A and B are shown apart, each in its own frame.
Chain A
Amino acid sequence: MSKVVRAATLRKRLFTSAHKVTARCCFFAATVSLVAGFSTVHAAEKMVAKEPFSPALREPVENHLYWGDLHLHTSLSSDAYINGTKNVGQEEAYRFARGEEVVADNGVRAKLKQPLDFLAVTDHSENLGLYSLIERKNPLVVGKPIGDRYSEVLELFEKVGLREAFMTVMRKYGPMPEMPVDMQQSIWSGVVETADEYNDPGNFTTLIGYEWTSMINGDNLHRVVLFRDDADKASQIVPLSALEDPDPETLWASLAKYEEKTGGMALAIAHNGNLSNGRMFSPNRVNGEPMDQQYAEARSRWEPVYEVTQMKGDGEAHPSLSSTDEFANFENWDTTNVAFTQDKEPWMLQYEYARSALLDGLVYEQDLGANPFKFGLIGGTDTHTGLVTTEEDNYFGKFHGSEPAPDRYIEKMGKQFEPNWKLGASGLTGVWAAENTREAIFDAIRRREVYATTGTRIRLRFFGGWNFEEQDISRADYARYAYQSGVPMGSDLPHREQKSAPSFLIHAVRDLDSAYLDRIQVIKGWVDSDGKTREKIYDVALSDNRKVPRRGSAKKVGSTVDVENATYQNSIGAPELATWWQDPDFKADQPAFYYVRVLQIPTPRWTTYDAAYYGTELPEDVPRTIQDRAYSSPIWYRP
């Protein structure tokens, strides 16, 4: 770097905030107003009606792509708060996502390069908002058993750590008290009203949601719950706590009850099967009985999509399950369960990853007549900082402790788990919908016309049908045509009338702020004539004039990454890849699924950006580069 440039950069870093002293200050922005009735001024403000949403005239036949995060925590989640996320509450999370500058809990002013289109704030339902109320001495908790016990926990936490703090308090007083329902209602109505307040149809959608945090022996069965509705419906219930019952079937029953009571709609999204030690896609129900048809139907009814990638590991595939997949070894967390109390054993993997579950689902459909694992794929952050940051060069970590700082990469997540360098700057959800509203986005999730990325904004269309032809992908209106004569991602192929094999139209475009593309792959899973599950990966479009080989895998795209300076060049790869592809191995009597994986060229991993910026030395086992990617929802073929 030249001296002049260096000096200019230095000046920028030193002085930009000084100019902003009076103008932009979001600092202690009112998390206070999260709780309904907390301040009278705030309550009165809600009386002002918003400008009604009127969509522009349009032709929705091609749909729009919207970007967002469906899994995010703020200071209202107990674990986020206790780990230091105190200033970034739900309002700050929305403001940050829609493109405003917000001050992170580490004091840094942060702003997204590109705003998001939607956000679901999904704080843990268990003791939702409690710590924040305690520290703000809210009358709801002061002098109440729950307030007193938990404030003792808060005090002890600093000295002895969380586990010991709880143990000490429980030894003294017995089991921790539950949150009274009126307290839950009060906090929840604050949550839903804040979501309504920031919901701006046409521009920025907020989805009301929470996380149901089920853990059995420390094995992760967490679910994010999302509503299609506004506060008037969502406020008629309080979030279900998994402390009462960790069985997902209880959760589904509660969602059914919600729909019946309010006429609204809800769904659940599971995540981190990789930390479930074989429970997430287990052949058995939580009560120990084998899965049956009722279970399979209920599961696919309530859980239309699965969060396949997020900070605590990527869950698409595992190298030991997919030994021929050269890209399966990607940001895997495969050593323990989510509580880090039990080691992983090899048999568990099959029941933890999306690809193996999609495969098992085909077999269940044959055996039970229903597919419990018929899910689309979405990405989420699961960040506990309130800030959706998924880019390698703009990553704010999982907890306050992994927000940008020179030593963050060696510190442990939440002070006691894996080292922070293992965290991934992942993921986002792309949604194909006619408009940016709660209803349209929720409906797209339900019909699985959504896809996951590991944080980048690769644009991806994927259609399947019986009579697409090679030249169709070059049509200006290929999307309109494909909707008319085929199905989009997330669907079943239409009934087969011709004798042909299914064909697909696939179009991937790079993120304008990020790297070029390496390749498009189709991943096919099927059940062979012996009833065994099989998988195969096809390279269907390659950059740089590389040819798809008849056998084996395509040549590697190479790398332009300069690790020391944390830079890369878009001198390899392609800005856009589009192709028509027909399955060469199709068997009409074998059920199958197809989904698309798009890879970017290698870029520096977030830890590499950190090392270059702070001048630190990374441990050897930290990957220096990463190939961020997109996973489409599958298209299924049913004989």
Chain B
Amino acid sequence: MNLLKRMDPLIVFILVGSLLTWGVHAFGLAKGNDSVIMIDQQVLSDYLASQMNESADSLAELTQEEQQQLADRYIRDEALFREAKKLGLDQMDGAIRSRLIQSLKFSLAGNDKAAVGYPLTEEELQDYWTKNSQRYTSSARVSLSHIFFDVARHGKDVAYQMASQSLTDERIQNWLALGDRYPYQRVFNDVTEDVLAGEWDAEAAAQVFHNAEETGRWFGPVESRWGFHLIRIDRKLDSRAPVYEEIRPQLVKALLNEKREAAREQAVNEIVSRYSVRSDYSVKTEHVEKIKHVVKTGHVVKTEYAVKSEAAQ
């Protein structure tokens, strides 16, 4: 005791501390000690439930021998698991990494309505509308009927000739009976130029929309990837920007989604900003700087990361 009294209290503290630490390690008392596998009923029940999809209660239903087998299996699994972790296999495995990342992402902000500033104000919505009105504009559409002349069947020249002649044929009054069997629809309702281009091709679709103003008159032949078409526009709907009141419900949802996404992105960025990055790539540090800026200002900006890193390669 004398010795202890004479020693600096700090030294005593350190000595005792090291002794304890050494003792704990030497006797495997530390929880999570890497070379000691603890087994008790709880461990085995959890193992049954989490790894083998059995109910935790079913442990009691096992015989002594089966329990022993289960324990052996657990020991092997656990040892291999720890060894794999020691070797860093969990770091290398893409599936494990993505699962962990995904779990964390799900738990981040964005789920919580209050956190993203709900309910939305009318001002916010108006602002969003001004910025995004283009996205809610509906494309021009036409409804049309067409008579088809099959190039595969007649050859290009003959098909073209047949089509041209039919244009002035009085039987065009009974147009359904003219021409050849068409594989798809002979009447299109309210299709966009995009959709028509998908089935015919871009040039044919462009010709149709170019001629779309005059309804009820047959024109053509228009050539598509299938053959030649005579076309009658039955209706044209102009491209249309909706009025705010009409589109408001959609805006609410879209803005809410955007804010949730932003909140999540913010949360991710906050995590990233806790790390510093050392790199030979100037572009990467720049990216991190950008994220830090984002965190500081609270504004999510589009990063040019992809473009830059491509350039860097």
Contacts and interface: CB of A to CB of B under 8 A. Distances in A.
A476 B46 CA distance: 69
A15 interface: yes
A479 to B, nearest CB: 8
B235 interface: yes
A162 B143 CA distance: 53
Given A21-B303, A164-B55, A476 B147 contact: yes
B49 A478 contact: no
A435 B50 CA distance: 52
Interface in B237-290: 245-246, 248-249, 252-253, 256-258, 260-262, 264-265
Given A27-B110, A28-B110, A407 B176 contact: no
B143 A474 contact: no
A576 B184 CA distance: 10
Contacts of B257: 25-30
A62 B187 contact: yes
Interface string A1-40: 0000000000100110011011001111110110000011
Interface string A41-80: 1100110100100011111011011000000000000000
B184 A509 contact: yes
A107 interface: yes
Contacts of A46: 249
A160 B49 contact: yes
A406 B95 contact: yes
Contacts of A18: 303, 305-306
A415 to B, nearest CB: 6
A41 B120 contact: yes
Contacts of B235: 56-57
A33 B250 CA distance: 12
A206 to B, nearest CB: 16
Contacts of B145: 59
Contacts of B180: 474, 476
B173 to A, nearest CB: 12
B246 A48 contact: yes
Contact of A164 (B56, B94, B119, B306): B56
A432 to B, nearest CB: 11
B120 A480 contact: no
B181 A478 contact: yes
A253 to B, nearest CB: 38
A57 B236 CA distance: 11
A156 to B, nearest CB: 9
B258 A435 contact: no
Contacts of A271: none
Interface residues of A, number: 65
Contact of A41 (B119, B245, B246): B119
A197 B253 CA distance: 13
Given A21-B261, A65-B185, A164-B57, A56 B190 contact: yes
A106 interface: yes
A406 B310 CA distance: 27
Contact of A62 (B113, B176, B262, B305): B176
Nearest to B187: A58
Nearest to B307: A15
Contacts of B57: 160, 164
Contact of A475 (B56, B102, B177, B301): B177
Contacts of A576: 183
Nearest to B313: A7
A529 to B, nearest CB: 39
A11 B54 contact: no
Contact of A473 (B105, B181, B252): B181
Contacts of A45: 248-249, 252
Interface string A191-206: 0000001000011000
B189 A55 contact: yes
B264 A41 contact: no
Contact of B260 (A15, A19, A28): A28
B215 to A, nearest CB: 9
A406 B261 contact: no
Interface in B49-68: 49-50, 53-57
Interface string B226-239: 00000000110000
B176 A61 contact: yes
A623 interface: no
Nearest to B189: A56
Contacts of A56: 143, 189-190, 234-235
Contacts of A39: 119
A575 interface: yes
A29 B253 contact: yes
Contacts of B181: 473-476, 478, 507, 578
Contacts of B306: 11, 14-15, 18-19
B94 A406 contact: yes
Nearest to A459: B184
Nearest to B119: A41
A91 B252 CA distance: 14
A291 to B, nearest CB: 40
Contacts of A167: 55
B252 to A, nearest CB: 6
Contact of B189 (A435, A476, A512): A435
Contacts of A33: 253
Contact of A161 (B55, B95, B179, B249): B55
A159 interface: yes
Contact of B186 (A40, A62, A415, A578): A62
Given A27-B257, A159-B49, A164-B57, 11 more contacts: A29-B253, A29-B256, A29-B257, A30-B257, A45-B248, A56-B189, A58-B187, A107-B102, A412-B53, A476-B176, A476-B178
30 contacts: A15-B305, A15-B306, A21-B265, A21-B300, A22-B301, A25-B260, A28-B110, A28-B261, A30-B257, A41-B120, A41-B252, A56-B143, A56-B189, A56-B234, A57-B234, A59-B145, A64-B189, A107-B106, A160-B49, A163-B55, A407-B95, A412-B53, A476-B176, A476-B180, A477-B176, A507-B181, A509-B183, A512-B198, A512-B199, A578-B181
Top 6 closest A-B pairs, CB basis?
A: A25-B261, A164-B55, A15-B306, A45-B249, A56-B143, A477-B176
